[in-house]
Amino acid sequence: MQDATGADAGGGLLAGRIAAVTGGAQGLGAAIARRFRQEGASVVTLDIAGGDIACDVTQEAQVAAAFAGIAARHGRLDVLVANAGLVPPWRELTALDMAEWDRVFAVNVRGVALCLKHAVPLMPAGGAVVAMGSIMSERGAARQALYNATKHAVLGIVRVAAQELGPRGIRVNALGPGPVATEALRGRVAARAASGLGPAPEAALAAHDAETPLGRAATEEEVAKAALFLASDLASAVTGRLLRVDGGLE
């Protein structure tokens, strides 16, 4: 049973908590928001394409207004999931599009920083931040300089924020998904194949699966469960870390 906010009235790991999920109208963000509601949280989704609050995370005025609205309605924020992000096309270093570079950095990095800036003042001791990193926060891959750079930056922000906010009792961690079996991934694989930058979609997806000891990609729900762990008291002594959800990729 759910109450008027969409929270599970029967309790759960996040019972009674207020959570905000950026990029929460679709994909991983929607899966995380859904799981949090199942665990008792009152969830507010922020998304440029809709959600509970329409918000472009690159625009400070919109971010400030969104969190002011959360404060006015709920009085506090217990969990922030900074999920909004872009995955750019593959490009060689010599073919970088610098307008694209600035646009992706604005969403993936500036957006995380702005959300932290305006969410943290609402968070009491016991609060938790989960930022969307990637396995690429700790490794490199050819033709992915832009995406890698943004996800390395996200992990850097997380490590700094964990140091700053730990004394206030606020934990800050990052999720590190590998390839996740989403419609967005399938679309990117198909686009790469069509442009000649990658193999046929079926072959590419099979190759992703074969790289993992589990023999498959993670699902959106599995990433959402990892976000739940980091947001909940189950991870009460975990901060400043990247939790990889990648099927065991090395």
Rounded to 10 degrees, the C-alpha dihedral 35/38/41/44 comes to 60
- CA dist 104 and 214 (Å) reads 31
- CA dist 208 and 212 (Å) reads 7
DSSP-derived 3-state class of residue 8: strand
> CB-based burial of residue 219 (10 Å sphere; 0-12 exposed, 13-18 middle, 19+ buried)?
middle
Among residues 137, 133, 131, 139, which one has the least CA distance to residue 211? Answer: 139
Q: Which residues are catalytic?
A: 147
